[in-house]
Amino acid sequence: MDKKITLSCVSSLGNLIVISAPSGTGKTTVCDFIINRNKDIVSSISYTTRMPRQNEKNGRDYFFISKSEFQKMKHQKEFIEYTKIYGNYYGTSKKKLKNILKTNKNVILKIDGKGGVNIKKQYSHTCTIFMITPNLKILKERLIIRNEDNKRKIKTRLNNAKKEFEYIKQYEYLVVNKELINTVYIIQTIIKSLEYKNKSDQNIFDFWTDGFIRGVK
């Protein structure tokens, strides 16, 4: 079957899609690939206190702020979820998430497993996808290849990956990232399928049942 990366998601808009994965799995690469090729899919940008990596831009990849600014936002309850990873804070703004959902686009939120579970509790219709590599050996190889961490930090990331796996059972979909194009196709197919997901919307229910009944008469 021909896997077309430009799979249209036009008829399945307004969904919140959480994508979580251990560091080094390829989450950012996959999400960027999807977002750059689908005008109706956007990313929810998180706040973080860590320093920008090479090629990262403020307002595009993250909102980079100081720890004092983050703490201020936290105390003012501006985050719908937040966490601390490797000494740095990450959080999702309630206001920004609500505003972006109003645009009637599919919204991808890249956060850790714990954050994803918390989002699902508050937005019950959230689609949750957990990405993993085929095995830990491959994850370690990818962390080494990206050349961002020393051996000690890579070991820490691998240990944290094992902790992240504890959240897999609470996610709806598990995607093994063996190869970029195939993974992109699978996730876009999941997003497309949300068109048929029952969101218990009374207006939609009334519209279709009324039309069905009138069609029988």
pTM, entire model: 0.81
Residue 14 CA: distances (Å) to CA of 153, 186, 205: 38, 19, 17
Residue 191 has pLDDT above 60, yes or no: yes
To 10 degrees, what angle do helices 136-145 and 151-164 make? 140
Q: Is residue 6 assigned to a domain?
A: no
Residue 202 has pLDDT above 70, yes or no: no
Residue 91 has pLDDT above 90, yes or no: yes
Q: Is residue 60 assigned to a domain?
A: yes
What pLDDT, on a 0 to 100 scale, did the predictor assign at position 77? 95
Tell me which residue range forms the domain holding 29: 16-207
What pLDDT, on a 0 to 100 scale, did the predictor assign at position 12? 53
Q: Is residue 79 assigned to a domain?
A: yes
Q: How many domains does the chain have?
A: 1
What confidence tens digit (pLDDT) does each residue in 2-21 have? 444 444 443 456 899 999 99
Q: Is residue 216 assigned to a domain?
A: no
Q: Higher model confidence: residue 16 or residue 213?
A: 16
CATH number of residue 94's parent domain: 3.40.50.300
Q: Higher model confidence: residue 167 or residue 14?
A: 167
What pLDDT, on a 0 to 100 scale, did the predictor assign at position 199? 55
Q: Higher model confidence: residue 8 or residue 196?
A: 196
Stretch 51-62: mean pLDDT, rounded? 90
Handedness of CA 41, 45, 50, 56 (dihedral sign): positive
Q: What share of the chain is helix, strand, coil (3-state, %, to 5)?
A: 45, 20, 35
Round the average pLDDT of the chain to a whole number and report it.
Answer: 86
